[in-house]
Amino acid sequence: MDGEDEFAVFTSNLIKKLGNFIAVNNLNLKVKRGEIYGLLGPNGAGKTTTIKLLCNLTKPNGGKGHLLGKKFSDNTIASNIGYMPQETALYDGLTVYQNILFFGEVYGLSSKKIRNRSDELLKFINLEKWRDELVENLSGGMKHRLSLACTLIHEPKLLFLDEPTVGVDPELKMSFWNYFYKLKSMNTTILITTHYMEEAHHCDRVGFMKDGGLITEGSPTELLHQTNTDSLEDAFIKFSLGR
């Protein structure tokens, strides 16, 4: 054992090639249980591919990984993880509630549980009035909120959120983060990708990704201190250029 049990996410020399392009290059990622970990990096750094590997949506070309102490190819962990893709990934032909209901059923929740959870989530994402509206009639921001609700329906222990705040207005963005803190207080682990450096301050730890690998990681304060900068954007540039 290399301490896989201790971490919610543990990868060792993870590699993913897309054609001739190495999207994830010997990635060693360790996310502690109950922490909010931010993967930061420019577009094409390998953040989304990393999440897809961890969610068993694509097969790695090398390396290994564990989620909540089990290999990430183990199907039994699927019920404990929640994945919010970058795209809204909803059924446009279904209503808001029908989407939540469908994903609740897929996770094997009882009807009563789905009803209770959907009431709670609809209130949180502020779509109660739109409950019976077709998704195709919603705005981009509304779809994003619903996408998050579908990810949270089964109260996962480990959350993968791929750019969850893109297209979300500042007020709602704040309520998202408040909700993430609430989930953290319930010992939920969150791995979040973003290219908004200012958002990374909300994370317990952040990892800077470039060319498929981690160039450094630490708490936002540590990273600012190490680079003697005021913003994580400047810190990223310094690390990226080899300080």
Partner 1 sequence: MNFKRAFAVTKRVFKNVKNDKRTLGLMLFAPILVMLVFGVAFSGDISDVNVIIVNNDQGLETPNGTISLSKDIISNLNTTVMTMRYMDNEKSAITLVENGEEYAVIIFPKNFTTNAYSGFNNSQKSSNTYITLKGDDTIPNIKNTIQGDIISGITTTMEDKGVKSSVSLLDEPIYGKDAKFIDFFVPGVMAFAAFLLTTLLTLLTFVSEKTSGTLERLLSTPISESEIVTGYAIAFGIIGTIQAGFLLTIAILIFDIMVIGNVLLAFLVVALLAIVSQALGILLSSLAKKESQAIQFIPFIILPTFLLSGIFWPIQAIPSWIRPFSYLIPPTYAVNAARNVFLKGWGLDKIWPDVMILIIFAAIFLILAVLYLKKRTD
Taking a C-beta distance cutoff of 8 angstroms, is the pair 135, 90 a contact?
A: yes
Name which position in 1, 20, 43, 59 contacts partner 1 (CB under 8 A): 59
Residue 65 touches partner 1, criterion: CB under 8 A: no
The C-alpha angle 219, 221, 224, rounded to 5 degrees, equals: 110
Pick the piece of the chain touching partner 1 (CB under 8 A) from 102-110, 113-121, 173-181, 191-199: 102-110
Name which position in 13, 26, 86, 98 contacts partner 1 (CB under 8 A): 86
Residue 21: closest CA among 39, 4, 46:
46
| Residue 146 vs 223, nearer CB to partner 1 | 146
Residue 83 touches partner 1, criterion: CB under 8 A: yes
Integer Cα distance of 216 and 104 in angstroms: 37
Name which position in 2, 5, 106, 198 contacts partner 1 (CB under 8 A): 106
Residue 68 touches partner 1, criterion: CB under 8 A: no
Residue 85 touches partner 1, criterion: CB under 8 A: yes
- Contact partners, residue 67, CB within 8 Å, separation at least 6: 8, 9, 10, 54, 77, 80, 81, 158
Among positions 18-37, residues that touch partner 1 (CB under 8 A) are 18
Shortest Cβ distance from residue 114 to partner 1 (Å)? 14
Residue 95 touches partner 1, criterion: CB under 8 A: no
Provide Rg for the chain, Cα atoms.
Answer: 18
Integer Cα distance of 100 and 191 in angstroms: 22
| Residue 58 vs 219, nearer CB to partner 1 | 58
What the block records as the tokens of 192 is 């979040």
Name which position in 43, 108, 129, 230 contacts partner 1 (CB under 8 A): 108
Residue 166 touches partner 1, criterion: CB under 8 A: no
- Contact partners, residue 75, CB within 8 Å, separation at least 6: 56
